[in-house]
Amino acid sequence: MADFTYVAVNKDGREIKGSIQASDERNAKAKLRMDGFQPISVKKASVFTKDLSIGGGRVTIRDLSIFCRQFTSILNAGVSVIEALKMLAEQSTNVKMRKTLQEVRTSVEQGETLAKSMGKFPKVFPNMLVTLVDAGEQSGSLEVSFERMSKQFEKSAKLSGMVKKAMIYPIMLLVVAFGVVCIMSIFVIPKFAEMFSEMGSELPAITKAVLVVSDVLMYKWYILIAVAIVLTFVIRAFKKTEVGKLFFSKLAIKLPIFANLNIKSQCAKFARTLSTLVSSGLGISQSLEITGKALSNVLYANAVIKAKVDVEQGIPLSAPIRDAKIFPPMVYNMIAIGEETGNLEEMLDKIADYYEEETELATQGLTAAMEPLIIVVMGVIVGTLVLAMYMPMITMYSDIGNV
């Protein structure tokens, strides 16, 4: 199979462009006609003509949210699943999503269920979405499943966005600080040092230390780049191991500044995911299993999987959640109330709403806390550089005074 780029006209007479996989050009044109397109030109794709787009290499939570929302609207309008997939594939701006939807549509046309067809692409459609689609197909309420998942993805995208937003500001300031160090060390301090050396003055220790840094940045920068690349690969490899996952998960909930944000975001995701699954008619055991796999922090994922085992043995969910000792009291207390009153779904929704708001407040608090801290760090760095420049001058004046 090869990739072909095409220009065609759809049923509405609108010109569209895209790519398609086929054995040859003739087969590609036949496929387009079967899809209701009138091909204008079909050419074999090259490195320069392949269909590319920014972000097209992966499907984000935001892409999935839009997909579910649009699918819900189309199904509610009485359009068939096959036609809905075709429409969504045509208008998708994400190349990977478009190609995947085309293949899902082909699979459904061949008699497979929508859930099974989507399940063939685990890197695009998460297990939670596939499971809810399967439940929706069996109960005849597919649009309800997509509606719930659209809300789930929207909440997840918002939560993820808030956490990333909290990280952007300190990272930008650290980049600026590093830039200041480089400029001062490479262009300013060496000239001062050279001037004082020619005058026969002994350079202070702090100036010598900064000159060593300057020398590394100017003449041995490739060593720093090599070390950074090696460290990046080592850390990434370590994070993929079980020990590494556990280490970084513990670190995330123990770091003084970031712990509050990480704990609240994990609680929000746990409650929102479990609520969505339970309200869709899935059993509590299956819902806990899917929820555990959806959590990024291994400590919380393991706690939820353990809770699944306990629940299967007849133990109330609130008990293993409490015994995990990583969930705030409000979580397991409200779950206990929900179990006693028979309103577990409602209580999980309230927990999710509360911790999503708390995550937003924690994000704002983290940003506010990081500002003075980073300013202090930058002040120390710049102060050290300034001191390294003026210490030789002070030493020289002191030597003159002693003469």
Of the two residues 72 and 190, the one the predictor is more confident about is 72
Q: Is 303's pLDDT higher than 60?
A: yes
Q: Is 100 exposed, middle or buried (0-12, 13-18, 19+ CB in 10 A)?
A: buried
> Average of pLDDT values for 65-94?
87
To the nearest whole number, what is the mean pLDDT of the chain?
82
The whole-number pLDDT of residue 1 equals: 61
Q: Which overall architecture, per CATH, does domain 61-154 show?
A: Up-down Bundle (1.20)
Q: Is 251's pLDDT higher than 80?
A: yes
The whole-number pLDDT of residue 54 equals: 39
d(CA 37, CA 45): 19
Of residues 18, 17, 32, 25, the one with CA closest to residue 1: 25
CB atoms within 10 A of CB 151: 16
The whole-number pLDDT of residue 52 equals: 41
Q: What is the pLDDT of residues 308-335, one digit of tens each?
A: 999 999 999 999 999 999 999 999 999 9
The whole-number pLDDT of residue 46 equals: 59
CATH number for the domain whose boundaries are 156-403 = 1.20.81.30
Q: What is the pLDDT of residues 10-35, one digit of tens each?
A: 666 666 666 676 778 888 888 778 77
d(CA 309, CA 332): 17
In the three-class reduction of DSSP (H, G, I as helix; E, B as strand; rest coil), residue 42 is classed as: strand
> Average of pLDDT values for 31-43?
79
Q: 19 pairs with which residues across the strands?
A: 5
Q: What is the pLDDT of residues 129-172, one digit of tens each?
A: 888 898 888 878 888 888 888 888 888 888 777 777 767 777 77
Q: Could you give the angle at which helices 298-312 and 242-252 cross, rounded to 10 degrees?
A: 100
The answer to whether 44 touches 2, Cβ cutoff 8 Å, is yes
The whole-number pLDDT of residue 390 equals: 76
> Average of pLDDT values for 255-266?
86
Task: Pull the structure tokens for residue 128.
Answer: 């939670």
DSSP 8-state symbol, 204: P
- Residue 306 pLDDT grade (very low, low, confident, very high; cuts 50, 70, 90): very high
- Residue 48 pLDDT grade (very low, low, confident, very high; cuts 50, 70, 90): very low
d(CA 321, CA 397): 68
The whole-number pLDDT of residue 200 equals: 62
Q: In what order do the strands lie in the sheet with 38-44?
A: 15-22, 2-9, 38-44
User: Does the CA dihedral 276-281-287-290 come out positive or negative?
Assistant: negative
- pTM beyond 0.75, yes or no: no
Q: Is 55's pLDDT higher than 60?
A: no
Exposure b/e, 61-90, CB count within 10 A at least 16 = b: bbbbbbbbbbbbebbeeeeebeebbbbbbb
Q: What is the pLDDT of residues 273-291, one digit of tens each?
A: 898 888 888 889 989 998 9
HEC sequence for 245-287: HHHHHHHHCCCCCCHHHHHHHHHHHHHHHHHHHHHCCCCHHHH
d(CA 196, CA 5): 66
Residue ranges per structural domain of the chain: 2-44, 61-154, 156-403
d(CA 306, CA 320): 7
d(CA 339, CA 317): 8
Provide CB contacts within 8 A for 123, sequence distance 6+: 58, 59
The whole-number pLDDT of residue 45 equals: 66
The whole-number pLDDT of residue 400 equals: 58
The whole-number pLDDT of residue 51 equals: 46
Domains 61-154 and 156-403 share a fold: yes
CA angle 106-109-112, nearest 5°?
A: 95
Which stretch of 30-44, 121-135, 352-366 has the lowest confidence by average pLDDT? 30-44
d(CA 155, CA 205): 54
d(CA 334, CA 244): 33
- Residue 237 pLDDT grade (very low, low, confident, very high; cuts 50, 70, 90): very high
The whole-number pLDDT of residue 190 equals: 74
Q: What is the pLDDT of residues 83-109, one digit of tens each?
A: 899 888 888 778 888 889 989 998 898
Task: Pull the structure tokens for residue 324.
Answer: 């995990």
Q: What is the pLDDT of residues 165-208, one digit of tens each?
A: 767 777 777 787 778 777 777 777 777 767 766 666 667 788 77
The whole-number pLDDT of residue 401 equals: 55
